[in-house]
């Protein structure tokens, strides 16, 4: 792989490398798989770097969020890098029954069925500004559910950060009810 020195070069390589699996997990869904990024350590490093460049910042040394919420499981992969780079706590959003203790729950509709996410109670508090990270923005169901949990906890949604935005689906429009479009960042769009 050639040396990647700009965000545009990164986007070009990602579009070439990310594999699409038609009709998975069910007919009509074209699944975009991040495995090809993870299988190439150099590409994973560059992807992480440019995702960090998209983080909302006050200035070069401070960020416009104090916590980052990431989704099970693919959101964890780069979300942990983002949390470390911004020196902020990372909150795990997981499927029903995967977290111990008291939880905050939100049900939502995905592109292929009904689902539910949870976060441990007490991790998001009034006054927090929480950034939401996941690998993919499609219909906006998962990210919208996280936004609802943040609002239930009395906190503010600082924005959204994704590797991919499937711009032909309504996800961005769904998230615009929570934040201005400029706060919805994706490394690349399909």
Domain boundaries, the chain: 57-189
Q: Is the pLDDT of residue 110 over 80?
A: no
| Identified catalytic residue from 9, 74, 109, 148 | 74
> Is the CATH number of domain 57-189 3.40.50.2020?
yes
For β-strands 67-71 and 129-137, DSSP reports them as: parallel
**What is the spatial distance between Cα 67 and Cα 89, in angstroms, rounded to a whole number?**
5
11 catalytic, yes or no? no
Residue 61: per-residue pLDDT: 82
Q: Which residues 6+ apart lie within 8 Å of 188 measured at CB?
A: 11, 14, 15, 163, 164, 165
Sign of CA dihedral 178, 180, 185, 188: positive
For the segment 53-75, the average pLDDT, to the nearest whole number, is: 94
Quick one: which H or E segment has residue 109?
strand 103-110
| Identified catalytic residue from 8, 111, 116, 172 | 111
Residue 26: per-residue pLDDT: 86
74 catalytic, yes or no? yes
| Confidence class for position 3, pLDDT limits 50, 70, 90 | confident
Q: What angle do CA 90, 96, 102 make, to 5 degrees?
A: 65
129 within 8 A of 153, measured Cβ to Cβ: no
b/e code 53-84 from CB counts within 10 Å (16+ = b): ebbbeeeeeebebbbbbbbbebbbbbbbbbbe
Q: Is the pLDDT of residue 113 over 90?
A: no
């Amino acid at each position: 792989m050639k040396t990647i020195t700009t965000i545009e070069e990164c986007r070009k390589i990602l579009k070439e490398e990310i594999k699409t699996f038609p009709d998975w997990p069910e007919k009509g869904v074209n699944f975009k798989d991040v495995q090809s990024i993870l299988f190439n350590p150099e590409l994973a490093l560059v992807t992480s770097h440019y995702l960090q460049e998209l983080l909302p910042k006050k200035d070069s040394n401070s960020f416009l969020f104090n916590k980052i919420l990431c989704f099970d499981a693919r959101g964890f992969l780069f979300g942990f890098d983002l949390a470390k780079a911004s020196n902020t706590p990372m909150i795990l959003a997981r499927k029903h029954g995967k977290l111990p203790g008291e939880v905050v729950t939100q049900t939502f509709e995905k592109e292929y069925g009904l689902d539910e996410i949870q976060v441990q109670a007490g991790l998001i508090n009034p006054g927090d500004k929480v950034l939401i990270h996941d690998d993919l923005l499609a219909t906006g169901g998962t990210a919208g559910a996280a936004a609802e949990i943040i609002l239930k906890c009395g906190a503010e949604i600082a924005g959204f950060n994704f590797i991919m935005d499937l711009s032909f689906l309504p996800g961005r429009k769904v998230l615009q009810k929570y934040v201005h479009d400029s706060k919805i960042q994706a490394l690349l769009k399909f």
